[in-house]
């Protein structure tokens, strides 16, 4: 099941994660500016406790706090954000140790604990970039990957030229560990910037605006490290110069990027910079060519720059030499890849699974068909773009739960196929449980928390089929069995065949039923407990099946939802109910008409106008129509529910909460949403006889409704004692078998007539 709830600011740290998420940038900026100003105005060269101590430490730990708040916002699911935050923390720990150890004019040995912290920054940041690169390269063709390599090597060549004086000085200086460390930092910066440029080259136009912070942060680090290396090699570096602001600036910019990445997960359409795809590779190629020309004509260029420059030109030439072959391979790859998720598609499954099956005919394997429950509601209510973002995240979670030897593909819509190599029924069932558990964790999309659940059908090779088509068909039948029984997953059994055929046949018969007017309505009256008069009726749909007889809603409503027929059925039910209401009103039987409306019908934006038109066409007052809505719908997305109900109320119809008390969350919606009445579920009413606790609960609920200005209707009244008690407790209306079962309109007309014979018939019970 998919349910979406607006994310509320209810964190244990109030205001820490605000809706905009932009305040961390201001905190970083104020801290950094204060530190820079302090460095500029401090007097003397001695250690300043305020500037070099407190402000210096603050400027490295504020970025740490911003980073870990971002990690918390992503719920520890973004490994790039997590690794970058760990990198910033490592640097902050090293810097803090360095400041505290040298505060009194002391000296630091090489290496020290501070160097461990400083050096730890680079592999952790490299890991963050590797995660970004892996995410970007996944599903890309060789031409795009080559563009990334060209950009990365070209950047490395240019940076190596800039670092050449530092390297030369290091070679001329006496060999020591301090000298090696001084040179190591710029070299690590070279590696980080080069990888980042490569990622940017492969992304082309899709580079997010937040990445500006990352590239500037890495450049700031590189510049500070280069200057530091030059000063350290000549014994000139001291704490408290404007150079120290370079590292602080780099940390602040990287923290800003981390904050932006966390916020981008919550945005509908993250902003991007428009950069032509070939810009970075072209610049990198030209720069590498310039490096080689300078090296052969005017300057002596270090091999550290010549090698990447030469490799850049070589890789840039590869597409020219193998252009046709690469184009064919890329077209083949795209034909087998799902454009949205980057997973293999149905064509890839059709080609690869038979090969995997035939690799070892004696080895068992399993085919799993996974279908998201009620995914259509997400698309209809939140938009297809949000649905697409959900599918991308679902694909990533599923991939993280599978072995490298397993095959995961998206075969269309919200369906995924998994082929588990060397897996029997027990292993397949264990994987199904693991996949469902992974999807049960909430997804955050556009500020909305989306709960996902899935139904999984399992077919085992070779016992249940030796061909892909057979396995797919049986996995599909097993998946439907899991969906209808709400078991989550199901392994195919022989008796599932007939069940699947029955489902498909019934679904087709339902489509025919809507066209041939096979749906009928039964009506159950509501009695005003203050006057004993009939105050309304509830319309309940039945299917008058041509061969199976009259079917109750439980036998077909789930198929109506599955087949996308709920909008059409709702239209038919409303028309029939309003037609009967007009007849009764013309006869002087002035009752209200209650109709149940499903969540999938409520997301129809044209519903309020259509209802208003239907009511007006029959000359009825809109207030005669009561729309009964489940409590679960009101809790899934309160903002959306408020917008829909407000529009419905504006037409003049009334809103009732059906099955009240069976929901799972707070009662705050009673205060916030436009509701007219509550229908107390029969599970509360029926146990009243002889149960003081049940009675107390009913009484308190009636009082709650009245204190909020709402009417209370009790369902499931099956005896005279309950009827009388509810009247004493102040309940407004009641319905149940004691007064009448749901019956056709003609039979209810007889019931109306019998009630008019005398007071003794006021609580007439229909057979």
Among 349, 740, 344, 247, residue whose Cα is nearest residue 239? 247
What's the rounded mean pLDDT across residues 61-88? Answer: 87
Q: Is residue 764 part of a domain?
A: no
Residue 432 binned pLDDT confidence (cut-offs 50, 70, 90): very high
Residue-wise pLDDT for 726-755, tens only, equals 999 999 999 999 999 999 999 999 999 888
Q: Are residues 556 and 475 in the same domain?
A: no
| 254-268, 419-433, 517-531: least confident range | 254-268
Residue 752 lies in a domain: yes
**Surface-to-core class of residue 765, CB atoms within 10 Å of its CB (0-12 exposed, 13-18 middle, 19+ buried):** middle
User: Beta strand pairing status for 443-445 and 407-412?
Assistant: unpaired
What's the pLDDT at 316?
Answer: 62
Q: pLDDT (tens digit, 9 = 90+) per residue, 623-681? A: 999 999 887 666 655 677 788 888 999 999 999 988 887 654 456 677 778 889 999 88
Residue 324 is encoded by which pair of tokens?
């046709």
Sign of the CA dihedral with 556 first, then 560, 563, and 565 last: positive
Total Cβ atoms within 10 A of residue 182:
23
pLDDT for residue 377 = 72
User: Strand 415-420 and strand 407-412: pairing?
Assistant: antiparallel
Q: Which helix (H) or strand (E) holds 372?
A: strand 365-372
Task: Give the DSSP letter string of 641-652.
Answer: HHHHHHHHHHTT
Question: Do 549 and 466 lie in a common domain?
Answer: no
> What's the CA angle centered on 757, arms 755 and 758, to 5 degrees?
85
Strand residue runs (E) in 707-748: 711-714, 733-734
Average pLDDT, the chain: 78
pLDDT confidence of 109, banded at 50, 70, 90?
low
Q: What is the pLDDT of residue 282?
A: 62
Does 44 or 650 have the greater pLDDT score? Answer: 650
Quick one: average pLDDT of 10-33? 58
504: region left, alpha or beta (phi > 0 left; psi from -120 to 50 alpha): alpha
pLDDT of residue 5: 41
Report DSSP letters for 53-87, one per residue: IIIHHHHHHHHHHHHHHHHHHTTT--HHHHHHHHH
| Predicted confidence (pLDDT) at residue 203 exceeds the cutoff of 60 | no
Q: Is the pTM of this model over 0.75?
A: no
- Separation of alpha carbons 416 and 602, rounded Å: 28
147 pLDDT above the threshold of 70: no
Instruction: Name the residue with tokens 């078991």.
Output: 487
Q: Would you list the DSSP string of 7-64? A: PPS--SSTTTS-SS--HHHHHHHHHHHHHHHHHHH--SSS--IIIIIIIHHHHHHHHH
Say how many domains are in the chain: 3
Q: How confident is the model at residue 16 (pLDDT cuts 50, 70, 90)?
A: very low
CA distance 593 to 604: 21
At residue 276, the 3 state secondary structure works out as coil
Q: In angstroms, how far apart are the furthest CA atoms of the chain?
A: 117
Q: Does residue 90 sit in the same domain as residue 217?
A: yes
Last residue of a domain, one of 460, 494, 528: 494
Residue 194: its H or E element? helix 177-203
What pLDDT score was predicted for residue 256?
A: 87
Same domain, 173 and 253: yes
Domain end, chosen from 494, 518, 548, is at 494
Same domain, 214 and 356: no
DSSP 479-493: HHHHHHHT-SEEE--
Burial label, 199 (beta-carbon count in 10 A; 0-12, 13-18, 19+): buried
pLDDT for position 328? 57
- The pair of three-digit structure tokens given for residue 74, joined into one six-digit string: 């992503």
pLDDT computed for residue 294 by the predictor: 65
Other beta carbons less than 10 A from residue 300's beta carbon: 8
Which parts of 274-322 fold into alpha helices (H)?
Answer: 279-297, 303-321
Final residue before a domain boundary, out of 429, 460, 494: 494
Q: Is residue 579 part of a domain?
A: yes
Do residue 404 and residue 517 come from a single domain? no
Q: In a 3-state reduction of DSSP, which class is residue 517?
A: coil
Examine the pLDDT at 703 and tell me if it is beyond 90: yes
Examine the domain organization and report whether 91 and 234 are in the same domain: yes
Q: Which two tokens stand for residue 543?
A: 């299917």
Helix, strand, coil content of the chain in percent (nearest 5) = 60, 15, 25
Task: Specify if 12 maps to a domain.
Answer: no
Residues 484 and 516 in one domain: no
CATH number, domain of 677, equals 3.20.20.450
How do residues 474-494 score in pLDDT, each as one tens digit?
898 888 888 877 888 999 887
Phi and psi, residue 451, nearest 5°: -90, 130
Please state, in angstroms and rounded to a whole number, the distance separating the CA atoms of residues 683 and 680: 8
CA distance 277 to 464: 49
Of the chain, the percentage scoring pLDDT greater than 70 comes to 70
Q: Is residue 56 part of a domain?
A: yes
Highest mean pLDDT among 236-250, 422-436, 470-484: 422-436
358 in the same domain as 237: no
Q: Residue 274 above 70 pLDDT?
A: no
Is 16 domain-assigned? Answer: no
Instruction: Scan for tokens 């109320």, then name that residue.
Output: 649
pLDDT of the residue at 23: 74
pLDDT of residue 727: 94
Name the one residue in this structure whose structure tokens are 């068992």.
364
Same domain, 26 and 172: yes
Q: What is the DSSP letter of 160?
A: H
- Pick 529 or 339 by higher pLDDT: 529
543 shares a domain with 600: yes
Give the domain CATH number at 423: 3.30.70.270
Give the pLDDT score at 1. 45
Region 156-182: mean pLDDT is 58
Grade residue 233 by pLDDT with cuts at 50, 70 and 90: low
Query: Is pLDDT at 166 greater than 70 in this prediction?
Result: no
- CA distances 764 to 525, 712, 722, Å, are 11, 22, 15
pLDDT digits (tens, 9 = 90+) for 314-367: 666 665 555 455 555 556 666 788 888 889 988 888 888 888 888 766 778 999
Q: Which residues pair with 540 in a beta bridge?
A: 522
Instruction: Pick the range with the lowest mean pLDDT from 104-113, 195-204, 600-609.
Output: 195-204
Exposure class string for 235-247: b at 16+ Cβ within 10 A, else e: eebebbbebbbbb
> Has residue 67 been placed in a domain?
yes
Q: pLDDT band at residue 540, thresholds of 50, 70 and 90?
A: very high
Residues 541 and 686 in one domain: yes
pLDDT in the model for residue 490:
92
> Domain containing 418: what range?
339-494
Check pLDDT > 70 for residue 19.
no
**What pLDDT does 594 receive?**
95
pLDDT of residue 383: 74
Asked whether the predicted pLDDT for residue 574 surpasses 70, the reply is yes
Q: Pairing between strand 448-451 and 654-660?
A: unpaired
The answer to whether position 122 is within a domain reads yes
Preceding omega of 462 cis (within 30 degrees of 0): yes
pLDDT at 409: 93
Residue 24: its pLDDT value, please?
A: 75
Q: Does residue 8 surpass a pLDDT of 50? A: no
């Amino acid at each position: 099941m998919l349910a979406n709830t607006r994310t509320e600011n209810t964190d244990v740290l109030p205001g820490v994660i605000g809706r905009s998420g932009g305040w961390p940038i201001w905190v970083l900026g104020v801290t950094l500016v204060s530190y820079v100003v302090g460095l500029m105005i401090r007097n003397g060269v001695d250690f300043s406790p305020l500037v070099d101590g407190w402000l210096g430490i603050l400027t490295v730990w504020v970025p740490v706090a911003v980073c870990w708040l971002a990690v918390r916002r992503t719920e520890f699911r973004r490994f790039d954000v997590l690794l970058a935050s760990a990198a910033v923390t490592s640097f902050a720990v090293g810097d803090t140790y360095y400041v505290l150890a040298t505060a009194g004019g002391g000296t630091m040995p090489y290496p020290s604990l501070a160097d461990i912290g400083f050096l730890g920054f680079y592999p952790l940041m490299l890991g963050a970039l590797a995660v970004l690169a892996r995410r970007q390269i996944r599903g890309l063709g060789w031409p795009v990957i080559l563009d990334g390599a060209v950009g990365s090597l070209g950047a490395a060549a240019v940076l190596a030229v800039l670092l050449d004086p530092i390297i030369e000085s290091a070679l001329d200086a006496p060999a020591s560990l301090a000298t090696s460390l001084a040179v190591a930092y710029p070299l690590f910066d070279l590696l980080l910037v080069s990888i980042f440029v490569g990622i940017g080259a492969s992304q082309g136009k899709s580079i997010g605006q937040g990445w500006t912070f990352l590239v500037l942060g890495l450049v700031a680090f590189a510049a500070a490290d280069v200057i530091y290396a030059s000063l350290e090699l000549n014994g000139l570096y001291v704490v408290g110069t404007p150079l120290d602001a370079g590292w602080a600036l780099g940390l602040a910019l990287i923290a800003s990027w981390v904050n932006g990445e966390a916020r981008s997960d919550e945005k509908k359409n993250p902003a991007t910079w428009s950069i032509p795809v070939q810009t970075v590779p072209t610049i990198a190629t030209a720069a590498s060519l310039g490096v080689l020309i300078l090296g052969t004509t005017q300057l002596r260029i270090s091999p550290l720059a010549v090698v990447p420059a030469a490799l850049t030109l070589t890789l840039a030439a590869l597409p020219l030499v193998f252009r046709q072959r690469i184009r064919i391979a890329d077209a083949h790859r795209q034909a087998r890849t799902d454009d949205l998720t980057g997973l293999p598609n149905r064509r890839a499954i059709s080609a690869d699974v038979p090969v995997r099956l035939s690799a070892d005919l004696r080895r068992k394997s399993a085919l799993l068909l996974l279908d998201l429950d009620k995914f259509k509601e997400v698309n209809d209510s939140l938009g297809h773009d949000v649905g697409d973002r959900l599918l991308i995240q679902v694909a990533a979670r599923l991939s993280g739960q599978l072995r490298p030897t397993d095959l995961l593909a998206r075969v269309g819509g919200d369906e995924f196929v998994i082929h588990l190599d060397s897996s029997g029924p027990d292993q397949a069932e264990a994987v199904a449980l693991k996949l469902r558990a992974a999807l049960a964790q909430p997804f955050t999309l556009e500020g909305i928390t989306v709960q996902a659940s899935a139904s999984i059908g399992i077919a085992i090779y070779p016992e249940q089929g030796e061909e892909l088509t057979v396995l797919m068909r049986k996995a599909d039948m097993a998946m439907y069995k899991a969906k209808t029984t709400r078991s989550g997953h199901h392994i195919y059994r022989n008796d599932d065949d007939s069940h699947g055929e029955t489902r498909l046949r019934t679904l087709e018969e339902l489509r025919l039923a809507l066209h041939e007017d096979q749906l009928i309505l039964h009506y159950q009256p509501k009695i005003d407990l203050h006057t004993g008069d009939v105050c309304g009726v509830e319309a309940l749909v039945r299917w008058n099946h041509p061969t199976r007889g009259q079917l109750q809603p439980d036998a077909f409503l789930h198929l109506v939802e599955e087949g996308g027929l709920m909008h059409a059925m709702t239209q038919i039910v409303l028309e029939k109910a309003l037609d009967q209401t007009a007849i009764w009103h013309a006869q002087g039987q002035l009752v209200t008409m209650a109709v149940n409306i499903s969540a999938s019908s409520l997301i129809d934006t044209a519903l309020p106008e259509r209802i208003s038109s239907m009511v007006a066409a029959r000359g009825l007052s809109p207030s005669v129509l009561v729309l009964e809505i489940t409590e679960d719908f009101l809790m899934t997305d309160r903002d959306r529910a408020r917008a829909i109900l407000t529009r419905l109320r504006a037409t003049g119809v009334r809103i009732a909460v059906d099955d009240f008390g069976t929901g799972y969350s707070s009662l705050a919606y009673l205060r916030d949403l436009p509701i007219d009445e509550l229908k107390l579920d029969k599970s509360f009413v029926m146990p009243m006889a002889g149960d003081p606790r049940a009675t107390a609960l009913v009484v308190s609920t009636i009082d709650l409704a009245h204190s909020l200005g709402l009417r209370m209707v009790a369902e499931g009244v099956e005896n005279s004692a309950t009827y009388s008690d509810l009247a004493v407790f102040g309940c407004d209306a009641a319905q149940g078998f004691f007064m009448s079962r749901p019956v056709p309109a003609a039979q209810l007309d007889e019931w109306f007539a019998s009630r008019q014979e005398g007071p003794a018939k006021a609580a007439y019970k229909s057979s």
